[in-house]
Structure 1
Amino acid sequence: MIDVIGTDAGAPASLPPMHQHLVQNADLVAAPKRLLPQLVDWLGSRADDQQRLVSDDPIALSDALAPLAPTLRIVVLASGDPLWFGIGRVLIERLGSERLRFHPAPSSMQLAFARLGKPWQGAEWISLHGRDPSPLAQRLQKRPAALAVLTDPGRGGVEEVRAILRGSGLESSYSLWLCEALGHHDERVQRLEATRPCPDDLHPLHLVVLLAQPPAASAAEALPLFGIADGDYLQHDDRPGLMTKREVRIQLLADLELPEQGVLWDLGAGTGSVGLEALRLRPQLQLMAIERRSGGGALIQANAQRLGVAPASVLEGDARTLLPQLPDPDRVLVGGGGRQRATLLKAVIDRLRPGGVVVIPLATLEALAELRPVLEQAELQLQISQQQAWRGQPLAEGTRLAPMNPVLILKGTKAQP
């Protein structure tokens, strides 16, 4: 067996006794160049009786080990957990797992959360090493509670992460922790505020941890009239990211053709974002918001307070059973309904005032095929469109456009008598 031992900055002296014994009694020790001086000093006189293979190239090192006699006692020293973005994968591919026995040390992700004093069993991670950074933007749209980002210093490192966070409109929704040289004598862990520059002496060996936080409330008068950044909204802890994105929100507000006065129903209101921004545009509208999810009413009211508006009514429960409590609408946004959406839409059309407008954002073609006939049979004037947006994200020295999920928009207008 080839023993692959994970190390920290103090190795080999800091290794557990069992691992030290393996190193001392090995016929050959393979190690990265940075470990060679410490290894020779630690072995002392035993160093002369031992072969060493020193290389920072995992492939070259693996190929050098392959032809060696199976009777040799071989130890490979690696950083952290060899199976966590380490040499382990290459060794398995070139030597076979049956020849290898792994002894991991804490990974950089483990060390980062240990330094922050945060449980990490539910944390997510993503690597940007030599990769297109766009998956990070996509992952952020799901609003993970904790995300470790393995940065690529050759492509911008922490600055690339900050640019993606800014481009996603989520700077206020995450605290950004910069973890440098974890496990080494010059280790440094610090929180970087959005307005604070990166340190001039940034260590190339660093990773970033993003921790979700409630966005700080801005003064309502300082917010845009509409098209407010996604990160300015409070969201459900168990389903973060489940909200109408800014670009779609703007289009829906336009399609609703909001009157100066009247009644607006927001069914399946979610965070309340569309209806609440409608009130900023038309303060005299009566907003009736319904959300099925428990706690949805309190969330919508909290967001209303942040935006400085007051819905006429916010209800929790099944929209189909709550509609009789509401006054007839002039405008309706149908964002929910699930499998009963066709039934809900029929009930909405029956209550919609003459000249009224119903707007339905949809994620699938099947939903469009189901609901379009409902509007046609009710003889509403029909309009179908697709909203597709891209957000700029850093790419090497330039900017790429990262696509967001397309949204189909079905709109029906009821005829005047």
Structure 2
Amino acid sequence: MADRIVVLGVGPDGALAGAIPDDVALVVAGGRHLDVHAPAGAPTMRIPGDLDAAFDAIRTTDGTVCVIGSGDPGWFGIVRLLASRFGDIPLEVYPATSAVAGAFAAIGLPWDDAVVVSAHGRDPRAAIAAALTHAKVAVMTAPSSTPATIAGALLDAGCGPRRVVMAVRLGHPDAAIHDTDLAGAADLEVAEPNVLLLLDPERVRTAPRSVVGHTRAPMPWARPIGAYAHRDGQISKPAVRALVLAHLGPGPGRLLWDVGCGSGSVAVEAAGLGAGVVAIDRDAEQLERARVNAATHGVGLGLVLGEAPAAFAPLPDPDAVFVGGGGTSLPAMLELLTVRCRDRLAVALATIERVAPTLAQLRDAGWEATAQLVEVHDLVTLGDGHRLAPQNPIVLVLAERP
């Protein structure tokens, strides 16, 4: 059994962050690191590959095991897995400059306020969600989630303008920095490994700093109607927004659709809680209101002009969806949403007649669905006293995939 595991990072210049121990009994690394750094005659195991086999080899090796990883192995790297598998074996970690730090350094930008997300070995939805709402995002890419595919998905989702920087093969003789926009990135295939930086040109200069992680604290939700530009009161009321957001669970890494977004109040508040949001509406005037409201509250949205459900076709699959009515197209929408949505749906209905068919369709599709009447009365002055003035009631249908 190994008596210690030494983890060494490899910096952008290709140098190890520490020395391979003289008493090393096994070296575990990717092929290119083994080719360069493994001592002659030392037993080796290549990763990626069968990680279980690599872990079994580490467990059964007597003496010192050396694991080599790119950049800082504790930052989206092998240290997490090693610590979870070998908590009983001492870990010595020697980090090098991470690929993300190297990418920001290459363009002379600080990154203490950046959101970093990995699309390596993971669903790229979290990377897309982060890039939609945050001003400064770094994505650790993969052959299955290249900068071109991520940029293309953001264009389909109606992402606003982004400066796109691809830091390619830093530390190698053929290292390159490509500085372009989303359209340029979507048409450009680059070599591996690379890091993708997505920067909102306007908000990257003005985004507030916070002591909470790398981003600001969540903005308040269920804000007053007066906090948003809207048309003739066509806006989800604060109480409805509060219940919808509580059900959908917006947060960092989650991707939401707001269908029939109108003024975008639900979309803006979901983005303010850290989610990536695609706001969809067939009315260009309303979509512009959503854009203005997002800018006013300092969040980013994807904005898609189109008729649902046809507008859904090019979009990345959502984790959760809010439908603000839907009219006669609602059954067709739900037919698609119950397949493509990962876990939660909320539908706001103004008429009682739509409730039973909506519940039946969701349940027939295998979803758990409930409905509740949301009725709010405002306290208003009447003479020397007060009365309760009712707002229009709304029925919320809330559904969850089992």
Change (3 A) 1:254 1:133: farther
Question: Partner residue of 1:32?
Answer: 30
Question: Partner residue of 2:150?
Answer: 161
Q: Is the 8 A contact 1:62 1:90 kept in 2?
A: no
Unmatched 5+ stretches in structure 2: 210-215, 236-264, 269-284, 299-373, 398-402
Distance (whole Å) between structure 2 residues aligned to residue 241 and residue 176 of structure 1: 26
CA shift at 1:91, angstroms?
1.9
Q: Is the 8 A contact 1:6 1:81 kept in 2?
A: yes
2:55 pairs with one of 46, 62, 83: 62
CA shift at 1:68, angstroms?
1.9
Change (3 A) 1:34 1:373: same
Aligned amino acid, residue 59 of structure 2: A
Aligned sequence identity (%): 24
Question: Partner residue of 2:142?
Answer: 152
CA-atom RMSD in angstroms: 4.7
Question: Partner residue of 2:86?
Answer: 95
Q: Is the 8 A contact 1:375 1:382 kept in 2?
A: no
Aligned amino acid, residue 124 of structure 1: V
Q: Is the 8 A contact 2:377 2:391 kept in 1?
A: no
1:86 pairs with one of 77, 81, 89: 77
1:106 pairs with one of 97, 102, 109: 97
What's the TM-score once normalised by structure 2's chain length? 0.50
CA shift at 1:169, angstroms?
3.5
Distance (whole Å) between structure 1 residues aligned to residue 47 and residue 234 of structure 2: 65
1:182 pairs with one of 151, 157, 170: 170
**SS of aligned partner of 2:126:** helix
CA shift at 1:63, angstroms?
1.1
Distance (whole Å) between structure 2 residues aligned to residue 178 and residue 127 of structure 1: 15
Change (3 A) 1:384 1:186: farther
Question: Partner residue of 1:52?
Answer: 44
Distance (whole Å) between structure 2 residues aligned to residue 108 and residue 180 of structure 1: 10
Aligned amino acid, residue 253 of structure 1: R
Change (3 A) 1:95 1:30: same
Show CA shifts across 1:113-163 (max 9, x none).
11121111121112223434443454345x4331112233314x2233223
**SS of aligned partner of 1:30:** strand
1:4 pairs with one of 7, 14, 38: 7
Distance (whole Å) between structure 2 residues aligned to residue 375 and residue 208 of structure 1: 56
Q: Is the 8 A contact 2:149 2:186 kept in 1?
A: no
Change (3 A) 1:197 1:176: closer
**SS of aligned partner of 2:144:** helix
Distance (whole Å) between structure 2 residues aligned to residue 74 and residue 236 of structure 1: 44
Q: Is the 8 A contact 1:235 1:241 kept in 2?
A: no
Change (3 A) 1:146 1:235: closer
Distance (whole Å) between structure 2 residues aligned to residue 200 and residue 250 of structure 1: 39
CA shift at 1:187, angstroms?
1.9
Show CA shifts across 1:275-327 (max 9, x none).
xx79x99xxxxxxxxx9xxxx8xx9xxxxxxxxxxxxxxxxxxxxxxxxxxxx
Distance (whole Å) between structure 2 residues aligned to residue 192 and residue 372 of structure 1: 51
What's the TM-score once normalised by structure 1's chain length? 0.49
Question: Partner residue of 2:16?
Answer: 15
CA shift at 1:36, angstroms?
3.2
CA shift at 1:176, angstroms?
1.6
Distance (whole Å) between structure 1 residues aligned to residue 193 and residue 207 of structure 2: 35
Change (3 A) 1:76 1:196: closer
Show CA shifts across 1:331-352 (max 9, x none).
xxxxxxxxxxxxxxxxxxxxxx
Unmatched 5+ stretches in structure 1: 216-233, 258-267, 271-276, 282-290, 300-367, 389-417
CA shift at 1:28, angstroms?
3.3
Q: Is the 8 A contact 2:27 2:44 kept in 1?
A: yes
Change (3 A) 1:129 1:39: closer
